[in-house]
């Protein structure tokens, strides 16, 4: 039996890198004042239809949706923002919290064609900053991404920035009309699925994967040149804030994002180490989402970061080595020593020390080999002789020096060594 296509198992040693990354992501988030939110993996399908948008790639073709045994239409979450919005509205969170800062880490599911950096079960780290309409929040969120990338020593990741405007008449709607007019002039050259989008969602064509469509779209007017005055000054604010923090960026009018709920700021962090799947993190502002969900009017900005892609870049750099090592090995010299050794091992573990011990009656030579293998810095050797003298032999694995320590002082001694 095999795992499903596009779904991965994580075993040692790779899992240690994942755990390290996850705990670093939590630590950086906490430093920025973000708290964790956890929502169920399974949601009502309507959460995503409404939250992500009916005519997005995700909802049209990528969702794992099914009817449960009670006949309810449910979906395994393809992204994290719509569930968080659903949860906060349901808990009336916004009544007492005008500003909130959340992060999430967990598996997402999309029925896509698996390839490098693209899977059917993948993991996202995401940030949601809710309640602040000003550009300062956008900068805060991108500063957090910058800190995350620096935490892992990634310097070759580029920030691409755009503004996708707003819904006021002089902004996106006016541009949309202009774009539809221009697209109609090349309609016959477009593949069918692209033609169908002209009226429904013409901007999405900038995100189309077909090369022909991409080259045609290069000649089309871009939204960034047509956003309203308010959006322009918001965008200028974002840029000045990023410059102030020394975060490099480039303006890329083609960043439109694949989800319906974005307005104003849209951004992606791209890495050249990833090949075709170059976006490690994508995000932006979604001021209307909470309202669309039946909640109060709460502006918001956030991002989703793909952890498989982050891991690929970290591995490509080869700088971050995460090891799983023991601090202490307990070694028994004879049968009598085994029982006391297992007790000592347990006592030390209860004191918070990472201890390894053989459980299969190996001879002392093999036990020392094992101590080397698991990386212990010291070994504690016990036999009937040591037990009768109420002491243990402490051996430094590097210098091979050894000394006798009274059994009741062993925890102190180990703590003193700071292994
Ligand atoms: P793409 O254009 O690569 O399909 P997307 O716009 O669909 O990305 P988002 O929905 O914004 O991606 O998700 C944010 C991040 O999650 C992406 O930048 C990427 O790193 C990661 N991601 C998205 N889909 C997958 C997937 N199928 N496998 C692995 N990572 C993914
Ligand atoms: Mg996608």
Q: Which residue has the tokens 């892609």?
A: 309
Q: Going by CA atoms, what residue is nearest to atom 13 of ligand 1?
A: 304
Higher pLDDT, 205 or 329: 329
38 and 67 belong to one structural domain: yes
Q: DSSP code of 389?
A: T
At 419, the pLDDT band (50, 70, 90 cuts) reads low
Helix, strand, coil distribution of the chain in percent, nearest 5: 45, 20, 35
Given the CA of residue 78, which atom of ligand 1 is nearest to it?
A: 10
Q: Which segment, 290-294, 326-330, 334-338, 383-387, is predicted with the most confidence on average? A: 326-330
259 and 397 belong to one structural domain: no
289 and 343 belong to one structural domain: no
In this prediction, residue 206 carries a pLDDT of 82
Range of the domain at 309: 14-171+227-317
In this prediction, residue 260 carries a pLDDT of 62
279 and 366 belong to one structural domain: no
Kindly report, residue by residue over 226-264, the tens digit of the pLDDT. 999 999 999 999 999 999 999 999 999 988 776 667 899
86 and 108 belong to one structural domain: yes
127 and 200 belong to one structural domain: no
Q: Going by CA atoms, what residue is nearest to atom 24 of ligand 1?
A: 118
Kindly report, residue by residue over 324-372, the tens digit of the pLDDT. 999 999 999 999 899 999 999 999 999 999 999 999 999 999 999 999 9
Distance 115 CA to ligand 1 centre (A): 12
340 and 375 belong to one structural domain: yes
242 and 253 belong to one structural domain: yes
Q: Which of 109, 122, 207 to mutate to test the pocket of ligand 1 (most atoms within 8 A of CB)?
A: 122
Residues with CB under 6 A from ligand 1: 79, 110, 112, 117-119, 122, 124, 258, 277, 279-282, 304, 306, 308-309
208 and 349 belong to one structural domain: no
Query: Is the link from the previous residue into 13 a cis peptide, with omega within 30 of 0?
Result: yes
Q: How many domains does the chain have?
A: 3
Examine the pLDDT at 276 and tell me if it is beyond 80.
no
Q: Which of 5, 17, 200 is nearest to 111 (CA)?
A: 5
Kindly report, residue by residue over 301-321, the tens digit of the pLDDT. 999 999 999 999 999 988 888
Distance 51 CA to ligand 2 centre (A): 16
Count, residues in the chain: 419
258 and 371 belong to one structural domain: no
Q: Which residues pair with 76 in a beta bridge?
A: 42, 64
167 and 180 belong to one structural domain: no
391 and 244 belong to one structural domain: no
In this prediction, residue 24 carries a pLDDT of 98
Q: Going by CA atoms, what residue is nearest to atom 22 of ligand 1?
A: 306
When pLDDT is averaged across residues 69-77 and rounded to a whole number, the result is 98
């Amino acid at each position: 039996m095999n795992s499903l296509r596009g779904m991965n198992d994580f075993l040692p040693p790779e899992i240690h890198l994942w755990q390290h990354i996850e705990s670093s992501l939590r630590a950086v988030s906490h430093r920025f004042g973000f708290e964790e939110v956890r929502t169920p993996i399974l949601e009502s399908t309507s959460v995503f239809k409404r939250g992500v948008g009916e005519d997005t790639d995700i909802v049209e073709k990528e969702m794992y949706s099914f009817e449960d045994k009670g006949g309810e239409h449910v979906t395994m979450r393809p992204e994290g923002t719509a569930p968080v919005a659903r949860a906060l509205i349901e808990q009336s969170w916004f009544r007492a919290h005008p500003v909130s800062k959340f992060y999430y880490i967990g598996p997402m599911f999309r029925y896509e064609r698996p390839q490098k950096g693209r899977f059917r079960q993948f993991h996202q780290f995401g940030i949601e900053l809710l309640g602040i309409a000003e550009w300062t929040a956008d900068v805060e969120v991108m500063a957090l991404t910058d800190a995350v990338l620096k935490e892992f020593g990634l310097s070759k990741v580029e920030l691409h920035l755009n503004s996708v405007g707003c819904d006021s008449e002089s902004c996106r709607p006016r541009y949309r009309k202009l774009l539809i007019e221009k697209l109609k002039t090349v309609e016959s050259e477009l593949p069918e699925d692209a033609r169908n989008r002209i009226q429904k969602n013409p901007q999405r064509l900038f995100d189309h994967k077909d090369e022909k469509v991409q080259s045609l779209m290069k000649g089309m007017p871009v939204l960034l040149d047509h956003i309203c005055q308010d959006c322009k000054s918001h965008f200028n604010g974002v840029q000045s804030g990023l410059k102030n923090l020394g975060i490099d960026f480039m303006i890329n009018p083609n960043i439109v994002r694949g989800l319906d709920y974005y307005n104003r700021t849209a951004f992606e962090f791209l890495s050249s180490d990833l090949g075709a799947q170059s976006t490690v993190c994508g995000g932006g502002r979604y001021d209307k989402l909470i309202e669309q969900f039946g909640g109060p009017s709460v502006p918001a900005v956030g991002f989703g970061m793909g952890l498989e892609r982050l891991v690929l870049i970290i591995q490509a750099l080869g700088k971050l080595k995460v090891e799983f090592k023991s601090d202490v090995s307990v070694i028994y010299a004879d049968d009598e020593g085994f029982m006391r050794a297992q007790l000592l091992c347990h006592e030390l573990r209860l004191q918070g020390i990472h201890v390894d011990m053989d459980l299969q009656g190996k001879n002392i030579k093999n036990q020392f080999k094992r101590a080397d293998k698991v990386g212990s810095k010291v070994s504690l050797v016990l036999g009937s002789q040591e037990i009768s003298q109420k002491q243990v032999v402490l051996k430094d694995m590097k210098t091979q020096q050894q000394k006798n320590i009274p059994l009741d002082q062993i925890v102190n001694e180990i703590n003193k060594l700071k292994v």
